[in-house]
Structure 1
Amino acid sequence: MAKLKLGAIADEKPVKISIEMPAIVHRNLIAYAEVLGRETGQSVGEPAKLIVPMIERFMATDRAFAKARRSRQP
């Protein structure tokens, strides 16, 4: 089985977001949630809960972003 970039989603206080995305991105988000649920043994429930961890993971692994942040800090 493939190793996904996300692990189990922490059960935290829900945050409301409003976002418009292309239908294909939404379908892929749903598919990702299903695969993640099978891999972790935990149902994701609402696929929108994946958005924040995905963005966090993306930013945490973006070397150019990390370098830019370090160069701006005193």
Structure 2
Amino acid sequence: MPDIKLGRLPDRTPVKVTIHILPELQRSLLDYAQYYAEAYGREEPITDLVPAMLTAFLASDPSFLKRTKGKSNASI
């Protein structure tokens, strides 16, 4: 192992996931994207917002964090 302080970076290759959502959720996501644009003065596509939303959700779930603590594949 090299004597370097920064460890090897994890795999950052995007993984495509396809889901089906109900129309009500689609409307809510569109509304949220509009709210985001109003708040930050910058429009972002839902496809960029959803991964950030999921990451924030998982990072804020204490039970999930407790369960994944110590697992090497937990990357949140």
TM-score of the two chains, using structure 2 as the length reference: 0.66
Q: Which runs of 4+ in 1 moved over 6 A?
A: none
Identity of aligned residues (%): 27
What SS does the corresponding residue of 2:64 show, helix, strand or coil? helix
**Equivalent-residue separation in structure 2 for 1:38 and 1:15 (angstroms):** 29
Partner of 2:64: 65
TM-score, normalised by the number of residues in structure 1: 0.68
Higher relative CO (CA 8 A, sep ≥ 6), structure 1 or 2? 1
Shift of 1:19: 1.6
Counterparts of 1:25-36 in structure 2, within 5 Å, are 25-36=25-36
Q: Which runs of 5+ in 2 are unaligned?
A: 1-13
For these two proteins, the number of residue pairs brought into alignment is 59
**Structure 1 regions of 5+ residues with no counterpart?**
1-13
2:43 maps to what in 1?
43
Q: CA RMSD in A?
A: 2.2
Q: Which amino acid aligns with 1:48?
A: T
Deviation of 1:17 after TM superposition, in Å, equals 3.9
Distance (Å, rounded) in 2 between the aligned partners of 1:61 and 1:17: 22
